[in-house]
Amino acid sequence: MRDLMQKQKNVYRQQFENRARLLIKCPDQPGIVAAVSNFLYEYNANIVESSQHSSDPDNGTFFLRMEFELPQLIEVRTRMEEAFLTIAEQFNMEYSFRYVSELKKTAIFVSKEPHCLLELLWEYQSGDMMVDIVMVISNHEDTREIVEALDIPFYYIPANKDIREQVEQQQIQMLKDHQIDVIVLARYMQILTPNFVAQFPSQIINIHHSFLPAFIGARPYERAYARGVKLIGATCHYVTNDLDEGPIIEQDINRVSHRDSVEDLKKIGRNIERSVLARGLKWHIEDRVIVEKNKTVLF
């Protein structure tokens, strides 16, 4: 299995070794797209996808995502990035170049419930989600066999509120040692401390089993049932220090009725959770998300 997935990654890297993405956020003003397009043209780059958004054309923020092919990208990328500084300074840009062949190193955190983890592993195994899953960390042993069957390292690290800071120091060190790019909380039922969150800004993705901002916090299905809701949902969002209030990446819903028990709601909800988390992670690894304060622009 490891050999098959490694082969898929190698084929992907080779296929997209000359492809990159440029993400830009800056004050809105005339000439931004023209300047960027002309810059890429001068390097003989072919723009294969371009998306833009302005929060307010008169006095707002401009967002741009360009994906492009550039022959011998590896040889010219450093020179290209250095040359782009002139345009970035002219338009006061926050920007980043992302290289498609560089798969994002990913760590998945999970507790007992495996449904979100299983969805991510299936997408990974089938080659439909091109990431490099470096490790799975859990405060329970329940999913070890599932993970290790795919030759992915599994780390059992007990965690609770009494030893949280000690545990997080160990986790942070592991994540930094492996140069992790994105952390996925696939129903990891622990609240992260501000120190942990601060180490990985806009890199921690969570799935909350509710259509936020409704039913923030614990036991949302029980509270939804008590309220008699007719729709339940799930929300994939970046983690901040405000519980379940980080920038939203993806959401979905399903209709329910008075006939559904709490257990029915949970069963329906699990299907929503796993698909929403998988889509949200895909948007992130494809560099389709730009965070702006407590919102996201999704291309």
Q: How would DSSP label each residue in 112-151?
A: S--HHHHHHHHHHHHTSS--EEEEEEESSSTTHHHHHTTT
Contact assessment for residue 186 and residue 120, using Cβ atoms and an 8 Å cutoff: yes
Of the residues 28, 181, 244, 260, only one is catalytic, namely: 244
Contact assessment for residue 252 and residue 280, using Cβ atoms and an 8 Å cutoff: no
Reply yes or no on whether 181 is catalytic.
no
The alpha-helical segments, DSSP class H, found in the chain are 2-15, 32-42, 73-91, 115-126, 144-148, 164-177, 194-199, 220-227, 262-285
**What's the sign of the alpha-carbon dihedral 75, 77, 82, 84?**
positive
Q: Which two tokens stand for residue 75?
A: 């040889």
Catalytic residue numbers read 244
